[in-house]
């Protein structure tokens, strides 16, 4: 049966890693960004859209990327979908930051 | 019974429940449709959310636990269909 990458209940698996770690600065930033973007006042997109964007990952991306990395990728995609920023603007900004750091 | 067939573009119903019959134990509420919200739509008309109880033995062929073990799932009306016996 056709299933989405996140729909893994009941499939054979390796043991689950239960090790905990303190939230990293990167994770906190992504969390804060999502909370602000989905707050009622801003409402850039819905949590349902976030989940849908995450489910659109390829199986390979879904497995390799961490939880917050998938959030970040989905945030980027949804901001473009909603016309809030363009792909070109994001690339331009990344280039500008890279230059500043060099 | 949980509908069979390919999942919609955004479906919160796990594959392991598809085609399985359960018992509705609670009407949770009336909410914006997540299948539409996922695509930046207003999510209207609203849809009913049901809490459904499934027996573990009816989900997994080789389930070795108690006959009384259950899974509860919150499922929207458009992912469910009436069971034939009724």
Complex prediction ipTM: 0.82
Phi, psi at A24, each rounded to 5°? -85, 170
Name the residue range of residue B40's domain: 15-79
**pLDDT > 90? residue A3:** no
| In contact, B50 and B62? CB cutoff 8 Å | no
Q: Domain boundaries in chain A?
A: 25-101
Contact map slice: B 43-82 vs A, CB within 8 A: 43, 59-60
The pair phi, psi for residue A46, each rounded to 5°, is -95, 165
**CA of A51 to nearest chain B CA: how many angstroms apart?**
8
The verdict on a CB contact (< 8 Å) between B6 and A52 is: no
Which H or E element spans position A37? helix A25-37
Split at pLDDT 50, 70, 90, the class of A80 is very high
Give the mean model confidence (pLDDT) for residues A94-102. Answer: 91
Class of the domain covering A25-101: mainly alpha
The mean per-residue pLDDT over the stretch A39-46 comes to: 95
CATH label of the domain that carries residue B52: 2.30.30.50
Task: Answer whether residue B5 is part of any domain.
Answer: no
pLDDT-derived band at B7 (thresholds 50, 70, 90) equals low
Structural domain includes residue B4: no
Q: Nearest C-alpha of chain A: how many angstroms from B84?
A: 23
Is residue B70 pLDDT above 60, yes or no? yes
């Amino acid at each position: 049966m056709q299933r989405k990458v996140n729909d893994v209940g009941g499939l054979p698996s390796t043991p689950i890693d239960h090790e905990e770690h303190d939230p990293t600065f990167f994770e906190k930033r992504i969390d804060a960004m999502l909370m602000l973007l989905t707050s009622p006042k801003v409402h850039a997109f819905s949590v349902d859209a976030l989940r849908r964007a995450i489910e659109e990952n390829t199986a390979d991306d879904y497995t390799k990327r961490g939880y917050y990395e998938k959030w970040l990728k989905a945030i980027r995609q949804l901001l473009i979908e909603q016309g809030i920023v363009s792909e070109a603007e994001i690339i331009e900004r990344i280039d500008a930051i890279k230059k500043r750091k060099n | 019974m949980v509908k069979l067939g390919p999942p919609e573009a955004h479906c919160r119903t796990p594959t392991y429940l598809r085609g399985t019959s359960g018992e509705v134990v609670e009407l949770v509420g009336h909410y914006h449709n997540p299948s539409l919200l996922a695509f930046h739509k207003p999510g209207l008309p609203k849809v009913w959310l049901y809490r459904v109880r499934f027996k573990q033995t009816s989900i997994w062929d080789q389930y070795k636990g108690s006959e009384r073990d259950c899974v509860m799932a919150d499922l929207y009306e458009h992912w469910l269909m009436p069971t034939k016996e009724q």
